[in-house]
Amino acid sequence: MGVGKGSLAADKVVEEIRRKGGKAVANYDSVEAGEKVVKTALDAFGRIDIIQRVHLRGSFLVTRAAWDHMKKQKFGRIIMTSSASGIYGNFGQANYCAAKLGLLGLSNCLAVEGEKSNIHCNTIAPTAGSRLTQNILPDDLLEALKPDYVAPLVLWLCHESCEENVRWERTLGAIVRQRTQPMTPEAVKANWTKICDFDNATKPQRIQESIGGIIEALNKIDSDGGISANHTSSATSTATSGFAGAIGHKLPPFSSSYTELDTIMYALGVGASIKEPKDLKFIYEGSSDFSCLPTFGVILAQKSIMGGGLAEIPGLSVNLAKVLHGEQYLELYKPLPRAGKLKCEAVVADVLDKGSGLIILMDVYSYSGEELICYNQFSIFVVGSGGFGGKRTSDKA
């Protein structure tokens, strides 16, 4: 996950590889030019062995350009990156979900077609902290889910001795992280039989359930001495008493500034395209009717909740590593400014007992100056904190 503009992210990765004695070359072409991307590898190394892609069109174009070369050399390892959003669906992400699960279909076909040429294709669906989530997830959860813990799996799947190819099914998996030690491809290889044991697998129905399993694994790592997040003193187990003091509690007001570039990057991230004339007003600041996508109001409001106040609600001691984003409601009163500063005021509307966890209904009001711009209600699920005999439904939802 690079950080920067233009070629800086690619150059940084190349520099890191070379500094450790490896060989690397950067390519600055768009994935739309798959042939150019592949040509860079061929010119530098004389062959192309591995493709690791994250989205549907880029995966198709780059793989198509490399396919004949891999068939000719009788070797190839292709890794597609899907997402839990594609597998289970997620609110407000129809285009993203479709593209992410489309990668699985592409991967399945390539695995079948490439098998006779020793081309293996697999799909991963990691939950990882990245630039897309760095302003949404709490810092301790970002640390626990950093991409460093995904890379060893990818490295093993790319290795010439790995014969894994295509099977699509969930397993219980295995924990291969150890405290104070880096996670390695060798650890993945050593536990591969257990990782691929399809007995007693869980079958989540929603994305929140799938993430809940990850949170449970992180807690096990924590209790067993593995690597996990650096919890703050306020991030302790959730209490199951004193909820009356929580309802009506107001979080500290939170102000967030954003630029036109922020709104453009958000629009691109949810699927706006220069190929769609109707999208130009969201991604080109020079457009006469340039505006901010209404759903950007959710991002700004979420920042106010994840800014730290959630862990300080009286009567609740919330472990942020066990928090999941459930349902979402957004109501607009005015168009979002194309850039500016919004003040968000959050209040606990209700607390519900869902058995396996509790739900906090959080109302967030966002203002530009004194003018109310939008209202959000977040349904926040706290894993493992239910069963306290509270009500299951609310007239405030």
Catalytic residues: 96
For residue 349, the one-letter residue type is A
Closest alpha carbon to 182 in 130, 219, 131, 146: 146
> What is the secondary structure of 170-204 as a DSSP string?
---------TTS---HHHHHHTHHHHT--TT----
CB 293 within 8 A of CB 346: no
* Burial of 273 from C-beta contacts in 10 A (0-12 / 13-18 / 19+): middle
CB 154 within 8 A of CB 77: no
Give Cβ neighbours of residue 239 (< 8 Å, ≥ 6 apart): 315, 316, 317
For residue 310, the one-letter residue type is L
Residue 111 in tokens: 């695995």
Give Cβ neighbours of residue 229 (< 8 Å, ≥ 6 apart): 140, 141, 143, 144, 218, 222, 321
SS3 of 380, please?
strand
* Burial of 68 from C-beta contacts in 10 A (0-12 / 13-18 / 19+): exposed
Provide the sign of the torsion angle of the four alpha carbons 141, 146, 152, 153, taken in this order: positive
